[in-house]
Amino acid sequence: MSRPGIDRVFERRLAALVNGGERQILQGGRKGVEKESLRVTPAGKLAYTPHPHLLGSALTNEHITTDYSEALIELVTPAFTHSWELLQYLLDLHQFVYRHLGDELLWATSMPGAIARDEDIPLAQYGNSHVGRMKTVYRNGLGLRYGRMMQAISGVHFNYSFPAKFWEAWAAAREARQHDAAFVSASYFDLLRNYRRFGWLVLYLFGVSPVVCKSFLRGRGELQLQDFGTGTAYEPYATSLRMSDVGYRNRNQAGLSVSVNSLEEYVRDLARAISTPHPPYEALGVHVDGEWRQLNANILQIENEYYSFIRPKRVARSGERPTKALMRAGVEYVEVRALDVSAFDPVGVNQNKLRFLEAFCALCLMKESAPIADAEQGQLDANHVAVARRGRDPQLMLWRDGRDVPMRDWARELLDSMTGICELLDHGDPARPYSQALATQAAKLEDVTLTPSARLMAELAGGESFFDLALRMSAAHKAYFLDLYPPNGERLKEFGAEAEESLAAQRRIEAADTGTFEAYLKQYFAA
């Protein structure tokens, strides 16, 4: 008689990899991070200064750019095979940025501090080129559709691709005839579907936004968070309000559903949303009195507007739309978008987290992954919201295969399934870092006080407001980076050269523009 919770299909697949003769088959996956942070003044107010010139052009600098707001810096690492290399690069990026921020700070948490009004959040500016204007108009449209406050939330994105050598072994384990681009894409979509099923676990383990500044809730009384003292609101058992209905979602888009059952369905649904007018957005207007309010009045202006916990990705060619890149050559990597910025880590993330996510991606890819029906998708979304808002509730139940199950029991089962994966990732390393990362997460299931969200609540227990706590940690992080010695001089010189070249690249783009902005948009959407 089999033990409850045993997934025989998954065990056979894992055994096939283990017995394939190459125990290092999962090692060497490529990992990258995108980390967002708001620039603030020493008093914690949103910075209204332009993106610092010495950081280069936000339009063309690959590693230092901006997201929604001119004040929302985004740091982007290349892909590395070792997480320590990635974190060292991210640390060097922070050192470089802090040397050019003057007295400003990078806000240490995902949820913003005290912001009085939506209109106080400045849109990111990318210069006078057509592509630069398009990026700013797109952001203006986001502000009109969802409110600018939603766009002031920051996060950490984890980009991951399996090692090239893995695919032949995985095709053999799946008894597939070949491991071509179609097989790789289908396998990544297996991962995407299972992340929708199991990704709530990431919110429990790593969520660190159980509180918000009350200013964030202004005009949103329907959210009904509880009072936690001066200027702070919270949900008692919350893990990640950022990833809940409090945070950024594609609201007011009835019927928006994007399938991850296949690459073709995913692209089809996104294309439909990008080309289907939405009456409330039509009422906002697109080009009014010579002013561009949004790129169009469709359900989505462009693909990136679609909110999801995880995305299939491929590096696009110049001017190529994301869906076109996917259809051209298939999925290259996945972007996990569910991580809060960790106030407890100066760079917002740590090695244990990255190692766990790498193993978790392998689990999601290797487990059986049936297509997701619309009814199931609604229940899966509800699971994510439940853990985001009530994940530390010891009585929390989640929907699984038509019935309610205790969240912690399901979580233990998933972590137990990851043991063999972590052993493969650890093969040849006596320190067993992946198994150690897994053990660190397993401990959070047995002791909820170890979760980052509980740790943050404990920090606030002395009466400090969320705003004051975040400001204090932001200042501490700045001091940490400026005091690091010796700095990586070669890398800092490299970042300086990249910044200068990016400014020159922006000037070249602006000088090469021809025609009108309207014609440029028409050509972009016709492509």
Give residue 255's pLDDT band: very low, low, confident or very high (50, 70, 90).
low
Reply yes or no on whether the pLDDT at 4 is more than 60: no
The alpha carbon dihedral of 512, 518, 519, 523 has a sign of positive
Residue 143 is predicted with a pLDDT of: 95
3 or 358, which is more confident? 358
Considering the chain, what percentage of its residues have pLDDT values greater than 70? Answer: 97
Least confident of 230-234, 352-356, 502-506: 230-234
In 117-247 the beta strands, taken as DSSP E runs, fall at 156-161, 211-213, 226-227, 232-234
CB 145 within 8 A of CB 306: no
DSSP state of 290: T
Give residue 229's pLDDT band: very low, low, confident or very high (50, 70, 90).
confident
Question: Average pLDDT, stretch 276-293?
Answer: 95
Q: What is the pLDDT of residues 178-227, one digit of tens each?
A: 999 999 999 999 999 999 999 999 999 999 999 999 999 887 766 789 99
Residue 2 is predicted with a pLDDT of: 34
CA distance 186 to 191: 9
Residue 1 is predicted with a pLDDT of: 30
Question: Average pLDDT, stretch 50-58?
Answer: 98
Q: Which residues pair with 40 in a beta bridge?
A: 46, 105
Question: Average pLDDT, stretch 232-250?
Answer: 89
Question: Average pLDDT, stretch 102-113?
Answer: 97
Residue 222 is predicted with a pLDDT of: 66
Q: 30-416+451-526, what's its fold?
A: Creatine Kinase; Chain A, domain 2 (3.30.590)
Least confident of 117-121, 153-157, 279-283, 400-404: 117-121
CB 119 within 8 A of CB 149: no
The model scores a pTM over 0.85:
yes
Question: Average pLDDT, stretch 334-348?
Answer: 97
Question: Average pLDDT, stretch 76-98?
Answer: 97
For residue 481, is it left (φ>0), alpha (ψ between -120 and 50) or beta? alpha
Place of tokens 């994301």: 322
CB 129 within 8 A of CB 109: no
Question: Average pLDDT, stretch 463-478?
Answer: 97
CB 300 within 8 A of CB 327: no
CA distance 391 to 413: 17
Residue 23 is predicted with a pLDDT of: 85
Give residue 3's pLDDT band: very low, low, confident or very high (50, 70, 90).
very low
Question: Average pLDDT, stretch 166-186?
Answer: 95
Cβ–Cβ contacts within 10 Å for residue 242, how many?
Answer: 26
CA distance 438 to 499: 38
Contacts of 23 (CB under 8 A, 6+ apart): 424, 427, 428
Give residue 247's pLDDT band: very low, low, confident or very high (50, 70, 90).
confident
Residue 218 is predicted with a pLDDT of: 82
Helix, strand or coil, per DSSP, at residue 24: coil
Question: Average pLDDT, stretch 482-492?
Answer: 93
Helix, strand or coil, per DSSP, at residue 391: coil
Question: Average pLDDT, stretch 244-262?
Answer: 78
Question: Average pLDDT, stretch 416-428?
Answer: 97
Least confident of 68-72, 99-103, 252-256, 304-308: 252-256
Reply yes or no on whether the pLDDT at 28 is more than 80: yes
Domain boundaries, the chain: 30-416+451-526
Helix, strand or coil, per DSSP, at residue 76: strand
CA distance 203 to 339: 7
Give residue 5's pLDDT band: very low, low, confident or very high (50, 70, 90).
low
C-alpha closest to that of 330 among 193, 185, 164:
185
Residue 13 is predicted with a pLDDT of: 95
Average pLDDT, rounded, for the chain: 94
